[in-house]
Structure 1
Amino acid sequence: MRGFAMGMLARRFQAAGFRTKVFEYASLAHGADRSAERLGESLRQLSDGGGAVHLVGHSLGGLVALLATVDQSLPGRTICLGSPLLGSEAARRVAKFASWTMGESGDRLIAGLDHWRGPREVGVIAGRLPYGLAQVLGGFGDDNDGTVRVAETQLPGIQDHLVLPASHSGLVFSQDVANASVGFLRTGRFAFGSR
């Protein structure tokens, strides 16, 4: 999705007192790792004034956020929304017949990460309304948001994990997701929902 898709979520963070900036990246042309390098540079510029710089990434954006901060001690917390942090079953299935659709990000989507070892507290919100790509790909046998399985979001080493009734795309429009995210950015824990 393009950066404008994060607009409603950004407005909800602003209403809660946060200043926001949407970071756009070209996932097909540049890939997750190169985009993470760009994000890391942007973070260093934003943090020059001191204070925390929080990150909220959706789907691949969560992986990009973690890659950008794994070796940085910049203050702030990170939230991943529907991010296939352990690798994506949907991406593995798509790669069998149309890997070109994932561009330079395909390998990272398939591989994911093995553990969070960075200094930031990371919170993950997964969805459990199974409407999306998975239906076209034959479905998943467990809880999912239609694109990412809940199990794929449970990266060892994260601070907190929450599952909410939202589809993959719906995560960025959900008021419950925004409320839970604000709570995590302020305290390092999600305040409600199922773990």
Structure 2
Amino acid sequence: MHDSTHAVREGQRIVLVHGLLNADWWLRPLAARLHAQGFQTELFGYASVLDGPERAVPRLIERLRREPTDALVGHSLGGLIALEALRAAPELAVARVVCLGSPLRGSLTARNLAALPWARPLLGRSAPLLRGGLERWEGAAEVGVVAGDRARGMGRLFARFEGGSDGTVGLDETRLPGLTDHCIVHSSHTGLVLSAAAVRQTAHFLRHGRFEYAVETPAV
């Protein structure tokens, strides 16, 4: 996709949204790296288990209305929260969204956890959105997904994916109809917030509305 008229340039405001069982401080390293790329970065925190999307989405909408923001970057559940906010408030002037390892089509890991009485509380009020995901993206914002293909982490204990995965989220789960672009980097699910490649891809999408490459080339 070619550069659009609502490009997010250096100096523009970006809000980062964390995922399940995390807090806003978890994304500080990612925020610092994007700041080094020239963007103004801010963090949005919410109680993913106790509050979930029912409270997080309205709070995010309120913040975006109060503090106009050019783009959102969400890790895992955070990407779903970001898209739900824009879907509920399409008038928000958010140009682009980058989702890092977000199970936009729904999470097999979450569905399997929900089936275990002892593990179900880990999902809390975020369970329905994580289990079901979205059908497609039809909003005005351009949406890109950075997915990982290194199957490492605790997620492997609860789900077996037919295709590639980042250990928690399957690659197929990150491919939502209506996306602007999609790319794959060599990272685990948690590692996406620390991945230099993910940062480069995110910054490129924020500037140009497309990723630099579809699949990361292995280091020689």
Same fold (TM over 0.5): yes
1:188 corresponds in structure 2 to 209
> Distance between the aligned counterparts of 2:198 and 2:103, measured in 1?
17
**Partner residue in 2 for 1:67:** 84
The equivalent of 2:40 in structure 1 is 19
Between the aligned partners of 2:102 and 2:186, the Cα distance in structure 1 is 15
Identity across the alignment (%): 42
Q: Is the 8 A contact 2:109 2:159 kept in 1?
A: no
- Name the counterpart of 1:165: 186
Residue in structure 2 matched with residue 37 of structure 1 by the alignment? 58
1:84-123, aligned counterparts within 5 Å? Answer: 84-97=103-116, 98-123=119-144
* Contact kept? 1:43, 1:53, Cα under 8 Å: no
Q: Please tell me whether residue 129 in structure 1 is matched to residue 147 in structure 2.
A: no
For residues 211 and 99 of structure 2, the distance between their equivalents in structure 1, rounded to whole angstroms, comes to 13
Cα deviation, residue 33, structure 1: 3.4
Q: What is the TM-score of this pair, normalised by structure 1?
A: 0.94
**1:56 partner SS:** strand
What letter is aligned with 1:55?
Answer: L
**Aligned residues of 1:130 and 1:143 also touching (Cα < 8 A):** yes
C-alpha spacing 1:165/1:16, structure 2 compared with 1 (3 Å) = same
Three-state SS of the structure 2 residue aligned to 1:139 is coil
Greater share of residues in helix: 1
Using the TM superposition, give the Cα deviation of residue 83 of structure 1 relative to its aligned residue in structure 2, in angstroms. Answer: 0.4
Unaligned stretches of 5+ residues in structure 1? none
Q: Is 1:57 the counterpart of 2:78 in the alignment?
A: no
Number of equivalent positions: 191
CA shift, 1:2, in A, is 1.5
Scaled by the length of structure 2, what TM-score is found?
0.83
Deviates more, 1:35-44 or 1:131-140: 131-140
Task: Determine the C-alpha separation between the residues in 2 that align with 1:136 and 1:180.
Answer: 29
On the 8 A contact 2:183/2:211 being kept in 1, the answer is yes
Q: Report how far residue 16 of structure 1 moved.
A: 1.2
CA distance in 2, matches of 1:138, 1:152: 12
The residue type paired with residue 100 of structure 2 is: L
Secondary structure of the 1:92 match is helix
- Matched residue type, 1:63: L
Following the alignment from structure 2 to structure 1, what is the Cα–Cα distance between the partners of residues 167 and 100?
13
For the residue of structure 2 that corresponds to 1:80, the secondary structure is strand
Structure 1 residue 34: Cα displacement: 2.2
Provide Cα deviations, 1:123-161, integer angstroms capped at 9, x if missing partner: 001100000133212532320001000100000001000
Q: Over aligned residue pairs, what C-alpha RMSD do you find?
A: 1.3
Unaligned runs of 5+ in 2: 1-21
